[in-house]
Amino acid sequence: MEQNQGRGVLAYRLLFLILVCSSVITIMATFFQLATTYHSGVKSIGGQLKQLELTHTNSLSKSLWIFDTAQIKIELEGILNYPDINYAEVISNGEKVISIGDRQENPIEVRRIKLNYQTQMNNLELGELYVQATDNNVKSKVREQIAVILVSQAIKTFIVSAFILFIINFLITKPLEKVASYTKNLDLRQGEDLKLERARNENSDELDVLVNSINSMRRNLQRAYADLQTEANERKVAKDELFKQANLLENIINGIPAYIYWRDLSGNYIGCNDLYANLLGMDSSQLIGRGVEEIPSHQKAIEFHQLDNDVLISRKAKWNQEICIDLMDGSTGYFVQSVVPMYNRDNDAFGILGLFIDVTTKKNAEKERETMKSQVIQSAKMASIGELASGIGHEINNPLAIIQGNLELLEGYLEQSNRKDSEVEKLVQNQMVAINRIRGIVDGLRVFAREDDKTDKKDVVDLHEALEETHQLVNSLYINEGVKIITDFSAEDFVILGNRNKLQQAILNLISNAKDAVLEKQDGEEKQIRISSYNKDKNVFLKIEDNGVGMNDELVQKIFNSYFTTKPAGKGTGIGLDLTRRIVEDFGGDIAVRSELGKGSEFILKFPLTSEFAKRTVQKLDSHFGGKVLIVDDDVTVRQLIRKHLEGLGFEVLEASSGPEAIAIMTKQEFDGIFTDMRMPGMTGVELLEKLHTLDCLPSYKILITGGLDEQAEVNELLDGDLQFDLVLNKPFSRRELARHLKLLFESAS
């Protein structure tokens, strides 16, 4: 069945090729013959026009001379009797006289014949004969010839092709079918020689040569087959043993907790263990035969082969080389790498073997120990600084309060005496600005240097207040370095649930990084940091942007990774932004970053708003200024200044220089409020209020005045207990600030 199908296919192919060749020749011959016919027909059109000019010109000229239109029309109708003339007209004096036929836009030939009349005296030009000729008649003859030629040639081609096919089938196809059948069913274990049954001649032809070659090939194959059978049996035994060894070696390599690969001298992979393939995100079978540049993650793979070229060139092993690589997941990996050359039995190098041991966990643990050690040392330093700053802050704030109070009194005296001195007023204002600057620095130290043993507790936090305190801490320092900070706190709702100290630490980290970025700009360029807030979708957003050097996309993807830093050794630990991200997420927020090289960076923090507000106990008092109050402070000058401020606001004021003196006064008299310093020798302000609470002589309003750095933390702890403060003032404060706070306090109580 298969033989018949093969023979039919071959016959059809031969017939097809013969028909194609014959058809091509026939078409070419037909085309040439038709072109000749068409050319001859077109040439005859010129003869017709020439004949027309000889036969009709004189008669038309006479008819036009006497203007016999009937005769002219007859003449033109006679012209149209020519086979290929389709249109004729007579023109005289530029106008058409008579026309016959259909005028065409693109005739094959046009003839304009002058019509002249010869008189005895002159040769008169009467007009012209315009004639158009088409090739329609010629084309019609060509089409008639096409049908005749194609039919006759097709019959001839088919008869010749069938005859040739019969000859080929008899002389070649059938013998070839027998040869094909013999070779298909050839059995190398036994069989006879191939013989063709056909008329024999004394001389051998090509088919005889083919048959002899096939028979000779069969005998050679039989001998080779016997040898192969023996060798195959031996190979099978060796293959089974090799498979066992290879399987054992593969299990050993995959069981080693290291990344192993081997490559040839051209750099193509010969093999690897599963651990290495997984590191590149591929299967081990996909790597074999490929170069490093051919795998999708080749940029990462190249980093794993930094030692390969040296070993390939030098043929010397590289042992225990430590390398640092950015892994596929964006983290940083640390490895100990060894690369050795591989040799065959002739001691010729044929490739290299590489091995990686992952020491990332160990390295990170060492870094973490070093970081923790540095943090412990830094914490100890900060604790010492905090203890020292606490006392210094108190000593600074008291003189500041005295200076500020005296300046305000001086302003009052100038106003009362109607003595206007612009220079004096300017000096007073300058001193006020300097005092506020010192006050801002001390307030910032109060926030960041105090010890906080409740860092994990969440409470209501005023975002704007935290931002303002951080701004006051760094603004003067940054201005000295040429960095300008612009603030725009546009958010109307800015109360969040979190931890004030942690929030300020996160803000300080971002501002510090922004400062480093803008300081890398060229001298003379503007260095600016912008801090802004706004509300959107029941969230408050904090944006910290700078016009510094910016970052590329690759750095943006890594900046929140632990221990990642672009700063030189000793200037960055790589934990600041990671800590910032953790703090923001711990408050239920998100942090995003946008940056462009040369244009700066933008960090956007999103925090959910909280509906909870700080609870404060406020006793009812008359909403207008007035009442009897007691001032308790160990500094007589501070007491006198506060007294003058309060008396100027309409209060009746008494003074006490210590806690025991205040207790003795308040057990004998009733007071509407008490103003007490936080830190006093013998008894602090908090201890004083607690004692008054137990004696049941605590006034309606309790106002605490602080001046140290760690006092606010103590106040916050007390606010969580039974003792509540109506107002906490930080020295130094002005008369206007005091009046504003008291007004807000009284209005909230009314």
pLDDT tens-digit series, residues 178-221 = 777 777 777 776 667 777 776 666 667 777 778 788 788 877 88
pLDDT at residue 534 tops 70: yes
311 touches 352 (CB < 8 A): yes
Q: Residue 660: pLDDT above 90?
A: yes
Residue 288: how many other CB atoms lie within 10 Å:
13
Range of the domain at 702: 628-749
Q: What's at 190, amino acid-wise?
A: Q
Which domain-ending residue is among 557, 575, 608? 608
| Residue 722 domain-assigned (yes or no) | yes
User: Is residue 344 one of the residues assigned to a domain?
Assistant: yes
The answer to whether 45 touches 84, Cβ cutoff 8 Å, is yes
Helices (H), 118-173: 136-168
Query: Is residue 525 domain-resident?
Result: yes
588, 660: one domain: no
Question: Could you tell me the pLDDT band of residue 473, with boundaries at 50, 70 and 90?
Answer: confident
Q: Do 529 and 669 belong together in one domain?
A: no
CB 355 within 8 A of CB 323: no
CA atoms within 13 A on the CB side of 210: 13
Q: Are residues 690 and 589 in the same domain?
A: no
Tell me whether residue 671 is in a domain: yes
601 and 638 fall within a common domain: no
The residue type of 37 is: T
Number of domains in the chain: 4
* Confidence category of residue 623, pLDDT binned at 50, 70, 90: very low
Residues 73 and 39 in one domain: yes
- This prediction has a pTM of 0.35
Handedness of CA 230, 235, 240, 241 (dihedral sign): positive
Residues 562-569, mean pLDDT to the nearest whole number: 61
**CA 124 – CA 209 distance, rounded (Å):** 93
Instruction: Tell whether 683 and 561 lie within a shared domain.
Output: no
411: Cβ contacts below 8 Å, ≥ 6 apart: 425, 428
Residue 446: which of 398, 481, 499, 397 has the closest Cα? 397
Are β-strands 459-462 and 495-498 bridged in parallel, bridged antiparallel, or unpaired?
antiparallel
- Answer with the one of 608, 642, 664 that is the final residue of a domain: 608
pLDDT of residue 330: 63
Is the pLDDT confidence value at 329 over 80? Answer: no
CATH number at residue 349: 3.30.450.20
The answer to whether residue 398 is domain-embedded is no
Same domain, 470 and 561: yes
Task: Report yes or no: 129 and 96 within 8 Å, Cβ to Cβ.
Answer: no
**Do 469 and 534 have their domain in common?**
yes
- The verdict on 649 and 544 lying in the same domain is no
Asked if 731 contacts 707 with a C-beta cutoff of 8 angstroms, the reply is yes
CA angle 449–455–456, rounded 5-degree value: 170
Same-domain status, 596 and 733: no
Helix axes 500-519, 463-480, angle to 10 degrees: 30
418-452 pLDDT tens trace:
665 666 666 666 666 666 656 655 655 555 455 44
Q: Is the pLDDT of residue 603 over 70?
A: yes
- Average pLDDT on 554-574 reads 66
Mean residue pLDDT of the chain comes to 78
Specify whether 644 is located in the same domain as 558. Answer: no
The DSSP H or E segment spanning 247 is helix 206-255
Give the Cα separation of 696 and 667 in Å (integer): 9
Q: Is residue 375 part of a domain?
A: no
Q: Can you give the CATH number for the domain in which 718 is found? A: 3.40.50.2300
Kindly state whether residues 136 and 35 are assigned to the same domain: yes
Residue the block writes with tokens 């191939």: 194
CATH number for 74 = 3.30.450
Which of 122, 143, 164 is where one domain is finished?
A: 143
